[in-house]
Structure 1
């Protein structure tokens, strides 16, 4: 593993067509019961192999065993009724039919821990595992029980903490919390969002990360980005809070975005996962395009704290495109790594 500029993915990778319908964010499984479990495990092994072959240093499960980065976790909790559904506005961007919180939420058994232990057995590299953050979880549900977004978020934070501690015990090196909702609900982030996230990481000895992007490359997100103007300043609203938090790593979107790179200065001292791969296009970046983003970021983050990554997950892309993008990420990081390690003449 490269100790300087270690590469990673922010989230999901495409599933094989024999496991689920390709090109979809919500892919229907091809199998059921024991056959589905075996297929998921095969896909997880394959995902690890493809990441390693592409030169990715901090590997993940690529979310091969889950349909969705939020809902699959919620499916395993008590207190949520998936039959009783309501239409809600997701991240103030698009409408979706979601399950309903009908009682006290709880986690009776681990959700991803067996998958994480399986992944740990099949790679020698550092392993990163993503969980949904508390605020993003409540934004994907209709609550008819708690009557308070904050109270429900705190309940989820405690549940996530239980899961994260068991993931750590299973050999996960980095637990990442996905909080795209941070880019929308600024007052709540300030009032209780970061505090709830800190509750989720409480007592963990492994490294912790928070991933905050502008979303998958789906139409609703693409159209929303068009309304944000020439400078995307959302990170400016809460980076100072994260800088003072106990989170170790902050992940942000930089490739083909309008995020001013100098906003990274607001999290000085943290490790930074810099998104250098655009997940909203099928065009594969060149290594030099990746390197340009990383060079720019190095003006505001020390080299030993820079983690080249993808902007977001790549589930809706083809496997061929995703492989090309992973190879470009590794090659671009290698260019910059060589520049850092080779003294100027």
Structure 2
């Protein structure tokens, strides 16, 4: 009998109704104790495991659950805690763990950035002067828990040493080999303790190998895994990659491990397999179901691919699994009651993807006839979805006729900025915020009442207007130079537009984790995108009517809307991006017609979408820059276009940032301790820029001197005339008192820095 196994790489942490999020925030707000937090999250974790067992998954991941972030968990495992948190050794306690992620009064949070090309954010490990030791074998704890409480002989999940170190900061390249040698015995200890407890399979996640790695890193990897196999021979190691094909395919598949996990959804792993084959003594863990999108798999096509893969391995040396952890998709579609039934039939969230894995495994083992009914149902539902795809001939014609000139503003920046300076007459180092203001419990509950029909449209609009007016007054009292309306009418910066543009649909419970307890609900794109009527004009005009200061119109850019949506593959992604850009172009024109002359078009996901394969970079960056320029091309010369980006390695996309031709960009720099400024030291940037001067993801209130230090660091490279002072991201998640206090400090710091610069200029 065939022993092909089904497997999962990771499961969403948040719970079907975001119970995880609520538990975390209740603890942070002091409403539940640490003991209650652990009790609630234990329940969620065990329920996740039960569901996977009930689905019939053979290799169930254990240890993938986290209280905040799996990279931070790895740091805590080895006692990697920055000195500013006064850690004295031993197991990292819960308060210290959250302090690293969120900051405390006397210590800023660690840097946060995107997990490869996803919208998930991880906490960057700081290895400065670190003395790693195994302070807690989390993998062992979770393995024993699953075995003892649920009878599950789980597959332990560990973030691999090479990926962990490559994602870390605080060391020189020349120190890499030494760090590898330091961490290797600690990993060996984890594996030995797992083996002693009876573990047979361990998944070591090494997604860094889906990027372009160096020969030195590859050599270190060979050495590490030779040590693992030698020191822990009784355990089956899965070297797990995902998100793209692996670089150095031949070297990777010949590493001394039991199994190699490859992504057969993203990239061209199948072609590599056909070209170079696969070692006969290894298990191939084939990621065949898309772990990052929500459209159901074409089971017939997937089974055909698996049958091809099967030709390259022995009968008992194949594992069927998702392409990546299911962390990146919602939990279950069974809660969706309002969505079009045809669209619902075409969806597959985490639980449904597990079903697909089990069906494909059975079909591969027992033959297609064993799953004929499942294949037929999937095919029918996919055909129904395809038949309802909302095509728009005019939009497709508009896209086909686009030229390079259609994405160019009428005047170059050097001439535009003169007109803008004359119009706005802003002071040196002008202050602004990024867009959203606190979405208090009252704001969220009122929106919920409105959606449920418990209050009228008029009552809801009045509530939103009252909040806008109050915050315009607050911003004026704080003496901020360029104001925002606060986005109180918006649930999310992408979902909001998904509800308004043609070609989109939205879910009720399609939540995924972005960072910490922050969850987002990506909309679904399954049609050609177009604009019907103004979306943001009413609230922007209302806000502007209460102040003489400029109020920014707030839009989400085409690249971010695309990257933060679940896109059906009927139309090429870059065509969809252009469609969104044309829709936004009409919205900008509508804002201008109503007197809004500063428009921010946010692109926080631009860097995130950069392909892991460097060979694909140019195409993506050119398409992204074109789409942004297309959205803003018809703006009048004295309309100032802003954009915002956050938590990314910007040196990779500097040329693209410049090519956006935005008048003002704002970029996160507070958590990276000003390190981002070095990008602008090495490159000439002539437009205006705000490097976020304080971290909005932390509840702590920065000091005036702390913000001034960030300003001074930036002014060493960026001329004062080009520099704006702003927080590093939107303030939606912060409490009102925190927000007002932090903005007050920011404005004071900007004024003091402004006075210093004026004094210098007058010398």
TM superposition shift of 1:133: 1.0
Structure 1: tracts of 5 or more residues without a match:
215-231
The alpha-carbon deviation at position 237 of structure 1 amounts to 1.4
What is aligned with 1:301? 718
What is the aligned partner in structure 2 of residue 264 from structure 1?
Answer: 680
Counting helix residues as a fraction of each chain, which structure ranks higher?
Answer: 2
Alpha-carbon separation, structure 1, partners of 2:620 and 2:709? 31
Q: Is residue 146–residue 152 contact of structure 1 (8 Å, CA) maintained in 2?
A: no
Instruction: Say whether 1:102 aligns with 2:518.
Output: no
Alignment CA distance shift 1:296-1:83 (3 Å): closer
Contact 1:11 1:63 in 2 (8 A): yes
1:314 to partner: Cα distance? 1.2
Q: 2:685 matched to 1:252?
A: no
Which shows bigger deviation, 107-116 or 234-243? 234-243
- Work out the CA distance in 1 between the residues paired with 2:645 and 2:756: 29
- State yes or no: 1:320 paired with 2:320: no
Q: Which has the higher contact order (CA 8 A, sep 6+)?
A: 1
Structure 1 residue 140 displacement after superposition: 2.5
Report the more deviating stretch, 237-246 or 36-45.
237-246
Measured after TM superposition, the shift of residue 52 of structure 1 is 1.2
Matched, 1:197 2:621: no
Residue 123 of structure 1: aligned partner: 547
- The Cα offsets for residues 142-182 of structure 1, whole Å up to 9 and x where unpaired, read as 22364321111100000011101111222222211111111
Alpha-carbon spacing, 1:183–1:341, altered in 2? closer, same or farther (3 Å)? same
Return the offset for 1:89. Answer: 8.9
Whether the 8 Å CA contact 1:84–1:100 is kept in 2: the answer is no
Task: Tell whether 2:429 aligns with 1:5.
Answer: yes
Contact 1:70 1:131 in 2 (8 A): no
Q: Secondary structure at the match of 1:109?
A: coil
Q: 2:575 maps to which residue? A: 151
- Residue by residue over 1:202-249, the C-alpha shift from the partner in whole angstroms, topping out at 9 and shown as x without a partner, is 1212011110012xxxxxxxxxxxxxxxxx6x1111122222442111
Give the structure 1 partner of residue 700 of structure 2. 283
What is the deviation of 1:101?
Answer: 2.1
TM-score by length of structure 1 reads 0.85
> SS in structure 1 opposite 2:582?
helix
Change (3 A) 1:293 1:97: closer
Tell me the distance in 2 between the aligned counterparts of 1:87 and 1:334: 41
Structure 1 pair 6–29 and aligned structure 2 pair: CA distance change class (3 A): farther
Distance 1:86 1:150, change over 3 A: farther
Partner of 2:478: 54
Give the distance between the partners of 2:481 and 2:709, measured in 1 at CA: 20
Aligned residues, how many?
321
1:39-118 paired onto structure 2 within 5 Å = 39-82=463-506, 98-118=522-542
Distance verdict in 2 for CA 1:242–1:63, change over 3 Å: same
Deviation at 1:7, TM superposition (A): 0.2
1:28, distance to aligned residue in structure 2 (A): 4.1
Task: Tell me which protein shows more strand as a share of its residues.
Answer: 1
Query: Which has more radius of gyration?
Result: 2
Q: Secondary structure of the equivalent of 2:635?
A: coil
How far is the alpha carbon of 1:103 from its aligned partner?
A: 2.1
Partners of 2:628 and 2:660 within 8 A in 1:
no
Q: Specify every segment of 5 or more residues in structure 2 that has no aligned partner in the other structure, as ranges.
A: 1-424, 611-616
TM-score of the pair, normalised by structure 2: 0.40
Residues 166 and 82 (structure 1), Cα distance of their counterparts in 2 relative to 1, 3 Å cut: same
Q: Which moved more, 1:78-87 or 1:307-316?
A: 78-87
Q: Report if the CA contact (8 A) 2:669-2:693 is conserved.
A: yes
Instruction: State how far apart, in whole Å, the 2-side matches of 1:29 and 1:339 are.
Output: 50
Structure 1 residue aligned with 2:595, among 171, 178, 185? Answer: 171
Distance 1:185 1:275 in 2: 21
CA-CA distance at 1:311 after TM superposition: 0.4
Q: 2:653 aligns with which of 234, 238, 241?
A: 238
1:1-60 residue CA offsets vs partner (Å, 9 max, x unmatched): 7511110001211035443359xxxx7466542111100011111111111111211101
- Is 1:311 the counterpart of 2:744? The answer is no
Which of residues 212, 222, 240 is equivalent to 2:645? 212
